[in-house]
């Protein structure tokens, strides 16, 4: 660029406000465009990370679904086996209504078994068995029989949960032991 051209540009910048704003805008626009390109690159990296996280999440959900179903199946088998050893031959299933889901359910004669299966049990799960039984009784009384065994199958329970289960006459058990006695 020649000295004359540079001097003319400087003169225009000093005297011509419109020209000055146009040049300033071009300089700023270029900077803004560069920053937008940087943001686009970073944004695309974040989108890719989100896709990776979603894939991992789908895998984790799938694993948890398989594990939960396996625990419920194990619970029904163990409880049915324990009841058989006490002279009660009962088929346990899952009971699902639009507004109510019960992991462990079965009837034989005048006996009804209602319960839940969960890897870890706290007091809230203990209370939920009575709440679900109450809802089942009020909404679907045909599913209830004269004698009721409330049961929860778990891998681990807090001491408070064990005490609460005793108070509520809920049979709390693991695969290897009864944490509270069955009430037949």
pLDDT, tens digit (0-9, with 9 covering 90-100), for 101-139 = 999 999 999 999 999 999 999 999 999 999 999 999 999
Query: pLDDT per residue over 54-112, tens digit each?
Result: 989 988 888 777 666 688 999 999 999 999 999 999 999 999 999 999 999 999 999 99
Reduce the DSSP state of residue 147 to 3 states and report it.
Answer: strand
Give the Cα separation of 8 and 83 in Å (integer).
Answer: 101
pLDDT of residue 32: 77
8 A C-beta contact, residue 129 and residue 161: no
Domains observed in the chain: 1-184 (3.40.1350.10)
The answer to whether the predicted template modeling score (pTM) of the entire model surpasses 0.85 is no
How distant, in Å, are the alpha carbons of 123, 124, 167 from that of 160? 6, 10, 11
Reduced DSSP (H G I as helix, E B as strand, rest coil) percent helix, strand, coil of the chain, to 5: 60, 20, 15
């Amino acid at each position: 660029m020649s000295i004359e051209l540079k001097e003319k540009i400087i003169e225009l910048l000093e005297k011509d406000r419109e020209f000055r704003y146009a040049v300033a805008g071009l300089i700023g626009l270029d900077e803004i465009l560069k920053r937008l390109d940087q943001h686009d690159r970073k944004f695309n990296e974040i989108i890719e990370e989100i896709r990776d996280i979603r894939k991992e999440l789908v895998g984790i959900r799938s694993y948890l679904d398989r594990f939960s179903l396996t625990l419920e199946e194990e619970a029904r088998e163990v409880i049915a086996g324990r009841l058989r050893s006490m002279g009660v031959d009962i088929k346990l299933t899952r009971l699902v209504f639009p507004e109510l889901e019960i992991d462990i359910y079965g009837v034989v004669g005048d006996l009804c078994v209602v319960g839940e299966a969960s890897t870890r049990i706290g007091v809230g799960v203990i209370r939920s068995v009575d709440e679900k039984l109450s809802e089942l009784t009020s909404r679907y009384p045909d599913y209830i029989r004269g004698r009721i065994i409330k049961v929860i199958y778990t891998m681990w329970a807090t001491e408070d949960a064990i005490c609460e289960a005793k108070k509520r006459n809920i049979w709390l058990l693991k695969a290897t032991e009864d944490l509270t006695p069955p009430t037949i």
